[in-house]
Amino acid sequence: MKAQIEHKGATYNVDLEKPIDISIPMKATPENMKAWYLEPMSIEPVIGDGFVGEVSQGGSVNFRTIQFNPHGHGTHTECLGHITEEIHSVNKHITQFFFLARLVTIQPELMGNDQVITLEQMQKALGDKKPEAIVFRTLPNNDDKLTRQYSASNPPYLEEAVAHELRKMGVKHILIDTPSVDREEDEGKLLAHHAFWNVPENPRFDCSITELIYVPNEVSDGSYLLNLGFASFENDASPSKPILYSIL
């Protein structure tokens, strides 16, 4: 279905028949992608008092308990509550879900032992565009990102200046295909997180960071309509399912 979308005074023709899902499914298997030294997630039937929550085991329904961490077991969207002493909920602060997004593909620069997306690279990739959301696809881009075990691997991250510039430009949402916009081991500084959310100076409550996405190679760089959907957890982060729609 083709549709005309009115957004902030402009009209866009969007192809709703071909959603591009850039989330990573969560599976209760050892192969499920994970980060931050977590144990695998689990999905187990409830069993007790003669009840079995598994039809294949004789139960009347499938009734399973899921145990996972949104930050390390799959695609998730987080708000500034991720780095504040006061509890802030992504469900309370992110209340709009459609945005104009720009997908950019970048080969991070090697700096010592680190792979870093630099300010110069980001500016070159964006040009004169000032989207509401930016989607970072890092190279190399293989489908092993769907099952990668990230712990102790020092994945690519954003230079602090990138987060500063995105905030200055008015970008409200960052999406990236790594476990974090910051270095895996950075002594708890989380420089890019603080710079983007402007914490503690002038916190940006309505801005989000989505990590551990996966954008297939066949999806071209360019502008898209983003649907940033997530589960209604009252938590700093929630598992999410960002969807891109082509603008015709």
Domain assignment present for 55: no
Domain assignment present for 171: yes
Domain assignment present for 52: no
Query: pLDDT digit string (tens) for 126-183?
Result: 999 999 999 999 999 999 999 999 999 999 999 999 999 999 999 999 999 999 999 9
Query: pLDDT digit string (tens) for 63-113?
Result: 999 999 999 999 999 999 999 999 999 999 999 999 999 999 999 999 999
Burial class of residue 225, CB neighbours in 10 A (0-12, 13-18, 19+): buried
Domain assignment present for 45: no
Question: Would the pLDDT of 4 be above 90?
Answer: no
Q: Which residue has the tokens 């996972």?
A: 68
Q: What is the mean pLDDT of residues 53-68?
A: 97
Domain assignment present for 170: yes
pLDDT at residue 6, rounded to an integer: 84
Nearest to 210, CA basis, from 70, 96, 77, 79: 77
Which amino acid type is present at position 248?
Answer: L
Domain at 126, CATH number = 3.50.30.50
Q: Name, in order, each residue with C-beta under 8 angstroms of 85's C-beta and a sequence gap of 6 or more.
A: none
Structure tokens at 151: 């712990």
CA distance 74 to 52: 28
Domain assignment present for 192: yes
Q: Which domain holds residue 124?
A: 2-26+70-246
Question: How far is residue 21 CA from its own chain's centroid?
Answer: 12
Q: Where do the H-state alpha helices sit in 69-179?
A: 90-93, 119-126, 160-169
Domain assignment present for 56: no
pTM over 0.75: yes
pLDDT at residue 14, rounded to an integer: 92
pLDDT at residue 2, rounded to an integer: 80
> How do the residues of the chain divide into helix, strand and coil, expressed in percent and rounded to 5?
15, 35, 50
The structural domain count of the chain equals: 1
pLDDT at residue 171, rounded to an integer: 98
Residues 15 and 245: beta-carbon distance below 8 Å:
yes
pLDDT at residue 7, rounded to an integer: 81
Could you tell me which residue, 133 or 5, shows the higher pLDDT?
Answer: 133
